[in-house]
Amino acid sequence: MSAAPAAFATLFQPYTLRSVTIPNRIWMAPMCQYSAEAFGPNAGVAHDWHFTHYAARATGGTGLIIQEATAVSPEGRISPYDLGIWNDTQVEALRRITTFVKAQGSVPGIQIGHAGRKASTDRTWKGGAPVGPDGDGWLPSAPSPVPFAEGHPVPHELTVEEIREITDQFAAAAGRALAAGYEVLEIHGAHGYLIGEFLSPHSNRRTDSYGGSFENRTRFAVEVVDAVRAVWPEELPLFFRISATDWLDGDGWTADETVRLADLLREHGVDLLDVSTGGLAPHVKIPVGPGYQVPFAARVKAETTLPAAAVGLITEPEQAEKILANGEADAVLLGRELLRDPYWARRAARELGAEIPVPNPYHRSW
């Protein structure tokens, strides 16, 4: 990589958390590819599709690349075709990705998660319907025996012992992520998957120490953070992805609770909140539009001491720059837009008059 002058645009200013400096504020949101093998010794193992997918965004100038939700256990996969990080074979394949991403000047990150009651579904392009034990799937687990939607199975209600086993699986996954070469780790607490299911009273009907009050509903999230932080090195940043609201009236997780949880997560070693919304319940009314989730990140920034990243229909460079310049977020996370254009960061640099490093073989085109 050849050096380039520092950019004046906020979007291209470096951002440092703990010992890690991310070269710009254009970050790739985790997006499942549903492209791993489902069974056998290579189940959940990254292959050429995953390498090419992440390598393209690194050569495209993306500052931080957060790998898709990677399951902490086979039962924690959203689909049988998800990536996993529950064994060392998976680690070896992931190391190939992190090595290349670092060589391009980007920072490799990974999101680890458990799908809870939304586990064991088909690939999205095949409809994403539940896949049961009589097919290629399994019975999902959850805080309470409340199905995600009509046509979905009633999940197994986790015992306290099983909750602790899953907490240990998150910690083990963090250790493997370190061995694989990742420099940023994100815990998936959003979109109605297991941690989010514990947070929301809509899906958490427990009457023990993991249900009811705010303190009880957030207990699992905090215990996972503590277990992960005990393994994840002090010098490396830890993110937490949250759905800031379930978009439900009356019995859902709320923006006020997100603000309250942000301060709690900060106390337990989380360095940044990745702020999304929704995913817990189907058929809710969401006012989708450009930047529609940015106000939730802005609240976290304004009302807590925890840094926040914004996501959600951020598609244009000037839009992204304005979000950062206005202090609404510390970084922007691009999802579908980076699927459409792996070189979005380079287009943004041209439009905003900034300069970013270019791989030497590409200099003739810059």
**Counted domains in the chain:** 1
Q: Is residue 3 part of a domain?
A: no
Ranking 82-86, 200-204, 308-312, 361-365 by mean pLDDT, the lowest is 361-365
What pLDDT shows up at residue 8?
62
Locate 232 and state its tokens: 């994840």
Ranking 3-17, 22-36, 231-245, 282-296 by mean pLDDT, the lowest is 3-17
DSSP calls for 65-120: EEEEEEESSGGG-SSTTS-B-SSHHHHHHHHHHHHHHHHTT-EEEEEEE--GGG-S
SS3 (DSSP) at 311: strand
- Residue identified by tokens 């998976």 is 90
* pLDDT grade for 355, boundaries at 50, 70 and 90: confident
Domain containing residue 172: 10-365
Mean pLDDT of the chain: 95
Catalytic residues: 193
Q: What is the mean pLDDT of residues 157-169?
A: 98
Q: Is residue 233 part of a domain?
A: yes
Q: Is residue 346 part of a domain?
A: yes
DSSP calls for 241-269: EEES----SSSS--HHHHHHHHHHHHHTT
Query: In this model, does residue 5 exceed pLDDT 50?
Result: no
Q: Is residue 326 part of a domain?
A: yes
Q: Is residue 2 part of a domain?
A: no
Q: Is residue 1 part of a domain?
A: no
* pLDDT grade for 1, boundaries at 50, 70 and 90: very low
Q: Provide the CATH number for the domain around residue 46.
A: 3.20.20.70
What pLDDT shows up at residue 250?
85
Q: Is residue 229 part of a domain?
A: yes
Q: Is residue 115 part of a domain?
A: yes
